[in-house]
Structure 1
Amino acid sequence: MSERRGLDLFVIAGRWLRSSLLMLVLATLSPVHADDLVVSYRSPESDNDRRLDYTTDLLRLALDKTVASHGGYRFEHQDRMNKVRNIRVAKSNVHPNFFAVLSFDEAFGKDGLDYVRFPLHLGVVGYRVCFTAPAARAAVAKIDNVVELKKFSIGQGAGWQDVNVLRSNGFEVAEVPSYESLFAMLNKDRFDLLCRGINDVAGEMQAHPELVLDHSFMLSYAMPQFFYTHKDNQSARQRVELGLKRAYADGSLLSLFKLHFRQSIEAAEPRKRRVFKLSNSAVTGIDFDFKKYDLDLNDVSH
């Protein structure tokens, strides 16, 4: 009996040892650790929405640049949401270290948000080119100045900072809650123009081949966008800021920018366009020199 009992104990000990070794191996191979920083980000509004591709990659790049100094991280995609809900979720701080891409607005600071001091698009997003409604195409192509342009209505997404910029410069603006609805409404002549960042239009032209991009002019105004997060997430905010500056310094940020946007900027042919400059008073509240990061459009193709 004692020999049998000893054998049973030996078998149990062997199983325990194998189980322990397996758990140890799995723990060693697993990239997720309890002390990893968890960072949250929203999902695109639709399957055709490619606007978040660059900023998602950029956020990961910033975090990758700080792994050696700050440790690992875990990236979590949250639900699909439009700009209005995106802001609301960021203010609520319901998701761990939730980051939203927003144009600067002093009101965000009063509502509990803080921003990473680095312009995500290097000044390029402030150049806007426009898709035209079928009924307006011929007339828009003949525009010589911004006064004539103000005769045409412009569609924009609800909550977009461009709405305030365009209205303050004297334009008629139609706000549309859904990103995809903007393209359908333009095609039905519900408004005359849909003006988009010059960095976005290549993907949108591909997703909506029924639309026509005007090539006669482009708008230009300061429109830096930043990663915003709740003010309680200062450790994550500072880490992302440090990572972006490291990526900018070593050239990897510019390489990522060109990878995402070179095709779009070249397709828009900025050198052939008249430039109509508009003002944006909102940027006066930015507390660092964001314009030192501005990229010349002509440098993108190099």
Structure 2
Amino acid sequence: MVEQLAAGTADFDVMFTGINQERFDKLLTVPIPMQRGLLGHRIMIVSDESAGKMASIKTIEDLKGIKIGSGTGWPDTDILRQAGLTVEDSKYDNLFKMVAAGRIDGFARGAAEPFLEVGSRKEEFPNLAVDSEVLIVYPFDMFLFLNKNDTERHDILLSGLQKAYEDGSFMAYFENHPQIKEVFEQAGLDDRVRFEIDNPLLPAEIAAIPDQYWHGR
């Protein structure tokens, strides 16, 4: 889809996806993280059997000793690997099966994602749960991308998001969104063993985005 949007042959105008240097170079990026960086706060979907391993993780060396699942082609997969972690990549749906079967110890998900995902798969995978012990953090999020020539639409989106921050409507919507509320009510982000890793795929222009647009800064 990136190539289609870049070439002007896509049947859509705006793409909502994670940031990396390639997407930033090929497309026009609206430089405001749409989930305030929560996508870069990774918590694990685990099995009943692997949950004990998570409870024993206290150091980065401990973290390197488990097998983490992540999607094929996702920027996250490269970020985790470049941090020296052991990563098994596969298609999204396969990763739930891999955790349930014990082929990987956890499936790394953005903080707003795993509760709904596990809840909707309880019948198929009754041994899956959301880990409560470990948090992996790196600067990363979902952004809006457009064709390089679509500057007018880009400027409208950027201006609208900036105004939504100024008048408080962005934060009001964000904090009251059911998935986001679930994160802060259930995830216990401040109560986990926290590992901060670098994101070498993050464009310098995105790294320089003001702190007001990122959670926890």
**TM-score, normalised relative to structure 2:** 0.87
Q: Greater shift after overlay, 162-171 or 216-225?
A: 216-225
Residue in 2 aligned with 1:278?
Answer: 197
8 Å CA contact 1:115–1:226 kept in 2: the answer is yes
2:170 is the alignment partner of 1:253? yes
For residues 259 and 192 of structure 1, the distance between their equivalents in structure 2, rounded to whole angstroms, comes to 32
The equivalent residue for 2:8 is 93
Structure 2 equivalent of residue 218 of structure 1: 135
The reply to whether residue 171 of structure 1 matches residue 85 of structure 2 is yes
- Provide the C-alpha distance between the structure 2 equivalents of 1:94 and 1:231, rounded to a whole number of angstroms: 13
How big is the shift at 1:96? Answer: 5.3
Which residue identity lines up with residue 13 of structure 2 in the other structure?
F
Aligned-pair RMSD on alpha carbons? Answer: 2.0
Q: Give the C-alpha shift of residue 170 in structure 1.
A: 0.5
Which of 201, 211, 217 aligns to 2:114? It is 201
Match of 1:152 in 2: 66
Give, in angstroms, the shift of residue 134 of structure 1. Answer: 4.2
Q: What do the CA deviations read for 1:99-122 (whole angstroms, capped 9, x no partner)?
A: 222332222244x31100111111
For 1:1-302, list aligned pairs within 5 A: 86-95=1-10, 98-110=13-25, 112-177=26-91, 179-209=92-122, 210=126, 211-260=128-177, 261-286=180-205, 288-296=208-216
Bigger radius of gyration:
1
Q: For residue 267 of structure 1, give the secondary structure of its aligned residue in structure 2.
A: helix
Structure (1 or 2) with the greater helix fraction: 1
The CA deviation at 1:196 is 0.8
CA shift for structure 1 position 97: 5.1
- 1:229-271 Cα deviation digits (max 9, x unpaired): 1112111111111111111111111122122211133211122
Distance 2:78 2:204 in 1: 15
Please say if residues 97 and 236 of structure 1, whose CA atoms lie closer than 8 Å, have aligned partners that are also in contact: no
Which sits farther off after the overlay, 95-104 or 256-265? Answer: 95-104
Shift, 1:213, TM fit:
1.4
Alpha-carbon distance between aligned partners in 2 of 1:248 and 1:99, rounded to the nearest angstrom: 21
- Residue 221 of structure 1: CA displacement? 0.9
The CA distance in 2 between the partners of 1:136 and 1:147, in whole Å, is 17
Mapped partners of 2:29, 2:170: distance in 1:
18
Query: CA 1:141 to 1:244, structure 2 compared with 1: closer, same or farther past 3 Å?
Result: same
Quote the Cα distance in structure 1 between the aligned partners of 2:61 and 2:211: 27
Q: Is the 8 A contact 2:20 2:203 kept in 1?
A: no
Helix, strand or coil for the counterpart of 1:183? helix
Q: Give, as a single letter, the amino acid of the residue that structure 1 aligns with 2:209.
A: D
Question: Could you say what secondary structure the match of 1:283 adopts?
Answer: coil
> Structure 2 unaligned runs (5+)?
none
Query: CA, structure 1 residues 199+175, in 2 after alignment: closer, same or farther (shift >3 Å)?
Result: same
Runs of 4+ with deviation above 6 angstroms? none
Distance, in Å, in 2 between the alignment partners of 1:281 and 1:290 is 19
- d(CA) in 1 for partners of 2:139 and 2:168? 23
Secondary structure at the aligned position of 1:263 is classed as helix
Residues 198 and 236 (structure 1 numbering): CA distance in 2 closer, same or farther, change over 3 Å? Answer: same
Over the matched positions of the two proteins, sequence identity in percent amounts to 23
Residues 162-203 of structure 1 show CA distances to partners (whole Å, capped at 9, x for unaligned) of 1111000001212212x2222122111221111111122221
Structure 1 residues 126 and 269, CA gap change in structure 2 (3 angstroms): same
- Cα distance, 1:91 vs structure 2: 2.8
State the aligned residue count. Answer: 210
